[in-house]
Amino acid sequence: MNDNVKVEIRRVLRDHARLPVDIDSIDEQADLFQAGMSSHASVNVMLALEDAFDLEFPDQMLKRSVFESVAGIAAAVNELQPEAA
């Protein structure tokens, strides 16, 4: 997968996830909710991801497991927008 996607995801998380720690210190498999992302912040993350990648997350993807890690988000973006990968 293109690293640019993950860089962009980390940018969105930095701007909208309101994590108490620097996003770059978080492993791509690490649980973002455990790291302090609130569910309210995750909604903003989703909206910002839709804007950044110009895609729409269908309802069945709007669940905790998709947004709980950088890798999970990258997989979802890849599934919705294979050309970004």
What is the binding site for other proteins (CB under 8 A)?
Answer: 16, 43-45, 47-48, 50-51
We find the least distance from the C-beta atom of residue 3 to other proteins, in angstroms, to be 23
Q: Locate 53 and state its tokens.
A: 């990648």
> Nearer Cβ to other proteins, position 13 or 35?
13
Distance CA(85)–CA(77), nearest Å, equals 8
> Nearer Cβ to other proteins, position 44 or 78?
44
CA distances from 68 to 46, 53, 83 (A): 11, 18, 23
- DSSP letter at 20 equals S
We find the least distance from the C-beta atom of residue 34 to other proteins, in angstroms, to be 21
Contact by Cβ (8 Å): 75, 9? no
We find the least distance from the C-beta atom of residue 33 to other proteins, in angstroms, to be 17
> Nearer Cβ to other proteins, position 35 or 45?
45
